[in-house]
Structure 1
């Protein structure tokens, strides 16, 4: 029994003196990588838009009233001076007749005052009247003449009001919109007809500010019909909106088309293509992109220790296959492109492909 106890004690002493086993070393996780390098790239950017008239005007009456007739509809072609709509003219016609009567009365009063002045002038020369009566006759004649001038001006204003009851086209064009129907009471200045004047046509696009900043100066835009790519035209930027749309945060850009084909009718859907300038860019596969703090990020490999760190990057643009990075990476750095979802900061990795 004593020998058994002594043997157990000796075994325990030997176990206590033996060195502790080292913890198992975690295997390096295999990943695929790419070495970041700059390259020259000039991508093409496409946008959807529509055809609009280069010169479009909203026409309305100068006075208010009840719309009696609208002689045109959307899509009709009109010529200069053609009547587009009419207001009921009864009130204006009554005012015109009143102005005509006032002018006739003023002219009669002027004749009478002129005759009286002539008589007083003759009597004064013969010494049969006084200077006071002569001056009064002269004043009456001048007052009557002024009243005639006032009546003539009122008659002209009344005729203008009558003419304002008819809305006429100021140039040739196509009606693109109407704003009132017969029977409605309309206020002065309300849009009754929108007229696209004949002449140039614009392709109108809504473009993000990022593209505007990186676009070349005086670019040539290739435009084609969305439903028929064979109908094409080219144009240059004619106007850029000063303020972004409050909802989409895009800027409206008008491209003046050069000799557009007839098939590019007003309102037609078109696609514009802009070739960006070739500039040095840092491009990585889209599979390398992940997120941290709700921001784009990539895993960067330290070539010396073969460990990874997560770093935020700034994305200029992206598509399903690749990402163009504008900040956060430098040329020569190694980025993980496959296996990004199974990594954690400081983890050792084993490079499978694209090893620097």
Structure 2
């Protein structure tokens, strides 16, 4: 009678074995390594440039102001036209200054006539004094009178020159060559000597300045890279400058960097850099907003990494995934320079020969095993971008 209670025990054991077999069949297979695309960093010659916003400024500017008082008789220029240095712009009524000049010339003639009489008297007294026919006192008086007459001539000549200068100032001439703006006064208006308000402005437009603010940290980087030989300067030693206008178009003429300020502005931590741009067509006008690109030279060992390979951490620091020799991946923080085409110029954190992941970044984690494949497309784009920048 014992086999009866033994049957449920056997059935339970068989059920457990069956469930165990089912569990072994349901276990997922091991995942294969994630496939990723990478590029191998290779040093290459990269043209280095810095793009900064700036504004144009006049090369020369002169405010036209009267230096004598009088009524404007004529305006001798067309508003908005180009004028030459010395070209007459206005005519001030010259009558009073002509009269003063004529009076001064008359006084000079009188002084010269008086000097002739005094010199003749002195010449007569000289032999008479030697013969004791006149006293030494009379001779000294004649000598003093002749010198006084010479002094009056010098004074009269000064008056003539002063009157002639004032007469010349009735011709208001252009102080520099350039383009003249609108006139502030009209014919018949009274102007006064040394007035504070100008009556016209002449601006030289060709060439023209472009002033940009270069961050001091960028200036330090440039000097350091030049000292280390990472950047090769231009053959003529000058730094070319190209412009992008406010409408996005490229300015057709190439200028050069002229100077940089000695002092750093403490409020902006920047240095003013001034470029000189040719402006034969007068397209650039003072006060225009532009983007100036300073070509600094070539970095013979530049490393470029595609922008798609770079991500940012929570602090905004750039980072890339590296494929190590054992085909595991590592997330590494790097330092970047400027953007060149679709790439970033690497300034730290990477070295030549390392493999940077460009495809499949979202599916990997630190230390994971991957199946790397050369990303020929990104590598070709990187080389093409570098070559285009070098032209």
The answer as to 2:350 corresponding to 1:329 is yes
User: CA offsets, 1:247-296, max 9 Å, x none?
Assistant: 78663322558xx7xxx345389999998658342122212223344433
TM-score normalised over the length of structure 1 = 0.62
Which residue number corresponds to residue 62 of structure 2?
58
Unaligned runs of 5+ in 2: 1-30, 376-391
Which residue number corresponds to residue 160 of structure 1?
165
Which residue number corresponds to residue 306 of structure 2?
285
Size of the alignment, in residue pairs? 315
User: CA offsets, 1:51-101, max 9 Å, x none?
Assistant: 999x85636458465783653344324456430234566775575456345
Alpha-carbon separation, structure 2, partners of 1:307 and 1:28: 15
The answer as to 2:235 corresponding to 1:217 is yes
Report if aligned partners of 2:105, 2:160 keep a CA contact under 8 Å in 1.
yes
The answer as to 2:90 corresponding to 1:85 is yes
Report if aligned partners of 1:99, 1:154 keep a CA contact under 8 Å in 2.
yes
Alpha-carbon separation, structure 1, partners of 2:132 and 2:170: 58
- Give the CA deviation at 1:132: 0.9
Q: State the SS of the aligned residue for 1:349.
A: coil
The answer as to 2:202 corresponding to 1:194 is yes
Q: State the SS of the aligned residue for 1:139.
A: helix
Q: Alignment partner for residue 284 of structure 2, among 257, 262, 267?
A: 267
Q: 1:67 to 1:338 in 2, by over 3 A?
A: farther
The answer as to 2:33 corresponding to 1:34 is no
Report if aligned partners of 1:36, 1:282 keep a CA contact under 8 Å in 2.
no
- Give the CA deviation at 1:148: 1.0
Which residue number corresponds to residue 19 of structure 2?
none
The answer as to 2:154 corresponding to 1:149 is yes
The answer as to 2:253 corresponding to 1:241 is no
Q: State the SS of the aligned residue for 2:339.
A: strand
Q: 1:121 to 1:221 in 2, by over 3 A?
A: closer
Alpha-carbon separation, structure 1, partners of 2:278 and 2:335: 38
Q: State the SS of the aligned residue for 2:260.
A: coil
Alpha-carbon separation, structure 2, partners of 1:252 and 1:232: 17
> Mean Cα displacement is larger for which, 60-69 or 125-134?
60-69
CA root-mean-square deviation = 5.3
Q: Alignment partner for residue 295 of structure 1, among 312, 317, 323?
A: 317
Q: 1:294 to 1:187 in 2, by over 3 A?
A: farther
Alpha-carbon separation, structure 2, partners of 1:350 and 1:67: 92
Q: 1:341 to 1:90 in 2, by over 3 A?
A: farther
Instruction: Report which of the two has the higher share of strand.
Output: 1
